[in-house]
Amino acid sequence: MADLFPIAEARGPKTANVIFFHGLGGDAKKTWEAINDEASLWPAWLAQDIEGLAVYSVGYEASVSGWNGSAMELTDRAANVLNLLLVNPDLGAGELILVGHSLGGLVIKQVLRKAADEATDRAEALSFIERVRKVAFLATPHAGSDLAGLGDSLRVLIHPSAATRSLLRDDQHLSDLNLWYRRWARQRGIDHLILTETKTTSLFGMIVKPDSSDPGLSSDPVPIDTDHIDIAKPLNRESEVYQLVLNFIKRPAERPVSHEQIGIDDLKRPLEKPIDGLFGWTASFWSFLKAEENQKLLGWIGGGLAVLATGLWVVFVHFYPSPEPKPGPPQKQIEADCSSVAIGGDVSGTTITAGSSGDCPKTRP
């Protein structure tokens, strides 16, 4: 099961919360300690250096191998963690900043996707995604890891956990998740910090290759002169990683935006060719239509157009009535008396009336 650990309370009135998510084989606290000492738990330093910031860390089972324990598959873990966060009263207000190391970054993306899906029916989920302003990825394998593929190849010996199998290189689910996240983050104006490893570990080499650690967002990745493990363990406040994270949290979000404003912006924005293809455009459009606020906005526009069209029709009928039909030429009539008829010219369409024979004088033999 997942747990939320308070790392440090806010100094003064709380204005923001930062939540840390550990990676595969990690721990809610030990992942973030340079040495086995709580004094080196650097997320706590952030609360000391930023007034109004409260710090939390999520812990969950994330064993590499089934021999050492169990671990949920990515989508199940995200649903589990999301519900943990939504029911916690300490997270009910204030800006939200999410920081994930390795697998933790994928958990963050899947949590946000799950929250977005539930936002139309669950007020807590809507409030949660409305308050997410910043996300930091530390050596996150957005396209999977070669090491997970090796473990899958040796599954009989290694017995990889469900969490490890979620990290297979070029996994279709990871690709779909990243495409969704790029669209969602762009629409909401989420600010990002992306740190990537550049050194190999002594035993496993480079865990996350550069192409996998780059999710393709507007923020460029920042290469760090360290390996996959130590990127989450800055030694002191002067460490490059700590300074980058500190400044990232302190700086104003580039474009905070409300859920309602998204619908208005989408209507104002001209239709562009989506970078993710027809499927991505269709999914994004369907999500737009499902949002209750967008449905109301479209309903208002549709109702206004209907009233305008009706008014124009009434004005047109009043000032431009249909013309009455013009009378045709008078019909010709010819009367014949005493069986005699005089005809001259065209008599087509003419009525011929003959008098009664009783009115004619009788002729003598």
Mean pLDDT by 10 residues, the chain (365 residues): 94 96 93 92 97 97 64 89 96 96 96 96 95 97 71 43 66 92 96 96 84 94 96 97 98 58 44 45 54 56 64 65 60 53 53 53 50
Task: Provide the CB-side half-sphere exposure for 197 (13 A, CA).
Answer: 23
6 has which bridge partners? 56
pLDDT score at 271: 39
- What is residue 318's predicted lDDT score, i.e. its pLDDT? 64
> Locate tokens 């009989």: which residue?
156
Do 136 and 97 touch, CB atoms closer than 8 A? yes
Residue 156: the pLDDT is 38
- Report the pLDDT value the prediction gives residue 340, as an integer from 0 to 100: 53
The answer, as to whether pTM is greater than 0.85, is no
Looking at residue 253, its pLDDT comes to 72
- The CATH homologous superfamily to which domain 3-257 belongs is Alpha/Beta hydrolase fold, catalytic domain (3.40.50.1820)
CA–CA separation, 189 vs 130, rounded Å?
11
Question: What is the DSSP code (8-state) at residue 169?
Answer: T
Nearest alpha-carbon partner for 249 in 58, 69, 55, 29: 55
pLDDT at 351: 54
Q: Look at residue 170 in the predicted model and tell me its pLDDT.
A: 72
